[in-house]
Amino acid sequence: MASTLPTHSEPNRERLNRRASLAAGIAGMMAATLHARPRPIQLTEKSVTEQAQATTDSSIRLGFGTYGMRSLAPLDAIRVTSAIGYQGIELCLLQGWPTSLAEMSLGDRQDLRKALADHHLDVPSLLESLPCLRGEATHQSNLDRLKASAEFGKELAQSTPPVVQSIVGGKAEDWENSKHQLVTELGDWAEIGREMGVVICFKPHASHLVGLPEQALWILDQINSPSLRIVYDYSHYFLEGIDLKESLKRLLPVTPYIQVKDSAGTRAKHRYLLPGDGETDYKLYFQELHRLNYRGFVNVEVSSMIHRLEGYDPLATARLCYQRLQPLLQEVISR
């Protein structure tokens, strides 16, 4: 129960000032949202060879999400993700993305499955956005979409189906008034997962109804289902001043999947950054995952604060993140 868990520490004022300053600088770079259509990518054999990296035998594997590849056609996203060296690709099912279920015909799905096999990529996660606490009609729609996403995940015919994940939305200040209704709705999510043989995950998110480790653990304790788990994303806990090692120790036992990005500022005023552009120590991060025997994907999530910037390049961004993270992971597992 949450009452037996230690509470998070208060952030250091000087650290918060640094974060706020960094956030303000990044805010000045924001521009209008891109609405580019999927475009083909030309990869020569030379470029593929130059970008391909030797895969590691580690149980910790790196992935990249198509949430940050909206302008790419699905088969191009698969090809470039594999060519860079990633071992997994998270498929974004949000409306308006080329990998949404509404955009893909039966033939498209078959082509996607073949491309994944040809390029030796796993799909560890399917990304949805299904905010809770918006009435019964929305809740039923969320359940229908969860079921459809779970069915699609099973179509991929992997040894382990991808998790289906979503934020829950809401506001942090409404926790006490809304937590029991959230348990009811997420309990229904868990039932969909049980029926479909798929793990459903919700992601604690800064400023949302569920943002703290103790809140996530309380929810899971109330529902008590192995079909409901969380996605761990330290960028949200960082904004609360929560220690990386402590949060991993508490949450990794209920975490089948990890997303990474950086953040700056505070819960009230923040920016999300690429991995390596903030204060997160990724060598320590990988050391802790290795020490705690985590077996799964660490997936780069590019925030909409970045991928909506004018001139955003998904291929260059995916390469940069891999070049930053893979050597650190390799160093940790090679010891």
Residue type for 64, please? F
Average pLDDT of the chain to the nearest whole number: 88
For tokens 């320590």, name the residue. Answer: 284
**CB-based contact 277:266 (threshold 8 Å):** no
Tell me the pTM: 0.85
Give me the mean pLDDT over the 24-36 stretch. 39
- pLDDT (tens digit, 9 = 90+) per residue, 266-285? 888 999 999 999 999 999 99
3-state DSSP of 268-307: CCEEEECCCCCCCCHHHHHHHHHHCCCCEEEEECCCHHHH
- pLDDT (tens digit, 9 = 90+) per residue, 155-195? 999 999 999 999 999 999 999 999 999 999 999 999 999 99
Residue 27 has pLDDT above 50, yes or no: no
At residue 90, the 3 state secondary structure works out as strand
Of 53-57, 175-179, 225-229, 244-248, the range with the lowest mean pLDDT is: 53-57
- pLDDT (tens digit, 9 = 90+) per residue, 82-109? 999 999 999 999 999 999 999 999 999 9
Instruction: Tell me the β-bridge partners of 270.
Output: 265
Question: Which domains does the chain possess?
Answer: 37-333 (3.20.20.150)
What pLDDT sits at residue 268? 84
